[in-house]
Each structure stands twice: as C-alpha cells, then as structure tokens.
Amino acid sequence: MKIIPAIDLMDGKVVRLYKGNPKNKTIYSDNPVEIAKKWESSGADMLHVVDLDATLGIGKNTKIIQEISKNI
C-alpha cells in the first residue's frame, strides 16, 4: 500500500475543511513550503497538493505550488 500525504491550500495557508465547508476550516500552517519539506524529510516521495481557492473559483495558489515544486 502507498500512502500519499496531502496539502490543501487556501489563502496561502495549509488548511483542512470541515465537511467541505470553506467557512469552517482549521489552519495548520501559514508556510506550505515548510510543510512540504517536512513530508519529504519524513520519507514521502509523492505529495498531493490541492488548491482549494481554484477549486472554489475564488483565487489561486499557483505561486505557492511552484515554490513547493522548486523546494522538494
């Protein structure tokens, strides 16, 4: 079995939505690149990054995703 960690991005932060509701979210970090590096140092060789802003049509986190790609 392969486990692939995920990072959900909203407003430039790592978040988790409660029941998919963007108004009810928990913020885990304001540094997504640092979180991605932690996953990599923990042995993850893949990472699932979700741009919730783009999914909801309220913005994009393209620059952050590019930074994650450059740094891991």
The predicted structure's pLDDT at residue 34: 98
Q: Give the end-to-end CA distance of the chain in Å, rounded to a whole number.
A: 23
In a domain, 11, yes or no: yes
Length of the chain: 72
Say what the pTM is.
0.91
In a domain, 33, yes or no: yes
Q: How far apart are CA 57 and CA 49, in angstroms?
A: 16
In a domain, 55, yes or no: yes
In a domain, 1, yes or no: no
Q: Which residues contact 46 (CB under 8 A, 6 or more apart)?
A: 2, 4
The predicted structure's pLDDT at residue 64: 98
In a domain, 57, yes or no: yes
Q: Which domain holds residue 49?
A: 6-71
The predicted structure's pLDDT at residue 52: 98
